[in-house]
């Protein structure tokens, strides 16, 4: 098994990839979100967080997508959504405006089609960065996999998840309609 390394050791991949950075998000909530500056605004009732050109993530996504690269992710969500998932749905709109294609997939569907229960990034269909979290959603580090078996499995997961997932804007509209009287 690959050694655990700090997430900061792989951040260069978000600029150095050649064509696609793809993520599967499986957690019901992330400690990094709860510790971030928009969490309190979300808890106070704010529900939409748009594109912020000065935000480092948004700036990089915009820069990379303008070069023709793709940022994509599928988020697993529960029914009903957890507080952390509702936050990601609200805050993800800024990522979408920056250029990310984010889609949502109900966890029950992910289980049905055999998706894994761990988060990972897949860069250029050749490097897998698997996250390790504690029980509170705190990132403990990542494992880097470049072997054929791990990469092929990640590509299969990506293709299956992408096929069944719903674009964030469409998912959010359906979600909001369910909340309306």
Q: Give domain 4-179's CATH superfamily.
A: Endonuclease Chain A (3.30.870.10)
Q: Where are the domains of the chain?
A: 4-179
**pLDDT tens, residue by residue, 95-107:** 999 999 999 999 9
**pLDDT tens, residue by residue, 113-162:** 999 999 999 999 999 999 999 999 999 999 999 999 999 999 999 999 99
Please say whether the dihedral angle defined by the alpha carbons of residues 61, 87, 154 and 162, taken in this order, is positive or negative. negative
How many residues are given for the chain?
Answer: 181
**pLDDT tens, residue by residue, 71-127:** 999 999 999 999 999 999 999 999 999 999 999 999 999 999 999 999 999 999 999
Contact indicator for 27, 134 with CB cutoff of 8 Å: no
pTM: 0.95
Rounded Cα gap, residues 51 and 59, in angstroms: 9
Q: How far from chain centre, in Å, is Cα 11? A: 15
């Amino acid at each position: 098994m690959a050694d655990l390394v700090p997430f900061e050791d792989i951040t260069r991949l978000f600029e150095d990839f050649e064509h696609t950075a793809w993520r599967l998000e499986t957690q019901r909530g992330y400690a990094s979100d709860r510790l971030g500056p928009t969490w309190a605004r979300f808890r106070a009732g704010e529900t939409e967080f748009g594109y912020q050109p000065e935000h480092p993530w948004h700036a990089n996504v915009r820069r990379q997508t303008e070069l023709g690269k793709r940022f994509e992710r599928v988020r697993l969500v529960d029914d009903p959504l957890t507080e952390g998932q509702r936050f990601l749905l609200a805050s993800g709109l800024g990522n979408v405006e920056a250029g990310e294609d984010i889609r949502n997939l109900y966890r029950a569907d992910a289980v049905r089609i055999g998706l894994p229960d761990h988060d990972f990034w897949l860069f250029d269909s050749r490097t897998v960065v698997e996250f390790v979290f504690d029980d509170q959603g705190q990132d403990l580090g990542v494992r880097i996999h470049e072997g054929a078996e791990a990469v092929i499995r990640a590509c299969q997961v990506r293709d299956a998840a992408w096929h069944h997932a719903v674009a964030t804007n469409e998912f959010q509209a359906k979600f909001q309609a369910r909340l309306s009287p």
